[in-house]
Amino acid sequence: GAVVSQHPSRVICKSGTSVKIECRSLDFQATTMFWYRQFPKQSLMLMATSNEGSKATYEQGVEKDKFLINHASLTLSTLTVTSAHPEDSSFYICSAAQGTSSNQPQHFGDGTRLSIL
C-alpha cells in the first residue's frame, strides 16, 4: 500500500521550455503533497508543500512563479517548471502524506530527472 507514482521519470528539453511533472497517490488519498529537489550527492531540499484545493506553501528562496504547483485533487499534484533553464536541471521528487495526523510518514515517488539543454 501507499504507492506514489511520479511521471515522467526523465525529461530532456531545450532551454525556455515549460515542463510539467505529475505526482499521483495510487491507493490512498493524499491530503498533502510535497515537492523536493535533490542536487547531486546532496540531501533533499523541500521546495513546497501543497494541500488539496489551496495554494501551495513555498520554502524560502523558492520562486513561486518559476515552480507552479497545482493540487487539484486528493490524488494528484503537479509541478510545472516554467521557462526552464540549465540551472533548473535537477532531480525532482514528490511525496504524499496519508491522513492528517502529525505522525504520518511521507511516501515518495521515484523522482523525475530533468535535464535542460
Partner 1 sequence: AQSVTQPDIHITVSEGASLELRCNYSYGATPYLFWYVQSPGQGLQLLLKYFSGDTLVQGIKGFEAEFKRSQSSFNLRKPSVHWSDAAEYFCAVGGYQKVTFGTGTKLQVIP
Q: Is 74 in the site for partner 1 (CB under 8 A)?
A: no
Q: Is 66 in the site for partner 1 (CB under 8 A)?
A: no
Q: Is 60 in the site for partner 1 (CB under 8 A)?
A: no
29-48 residues in contact with partner 1 (CB under 8 A) are: 32, 34, 42-44, 46
Distance CA 64, CA 27 (A): 29
Terminal CA-CA length for the chain? 37
Q: Is 93 in the site for partner 1 (CB under 8 A)?
A: yes
Q: Is 101 in the site for partner 1 (CB under 8 A)?
A: yes
Handedness of CA 92, 42, 110, 30 (dihedral sign): negative
Stretch touching partner 1 by CB under 8 A, among 13-21, 63-71, 75-83, 90-98: 90-98
Q: Is 97 in the site for partner 1 (CB under 8 A)?
A: yes
Handedness of CA 20, 69, 72, 75 (dihedral sign): positive
Distance CA 75, CA 25 (A): 5
Distance CA 62, CA 48 (A): 8
Residues that bind partner 1 (CB under 8 A): 4, 6, 32, 34, 42-44, 46, 49, 91, 93, 95, 97, 100-111, 113
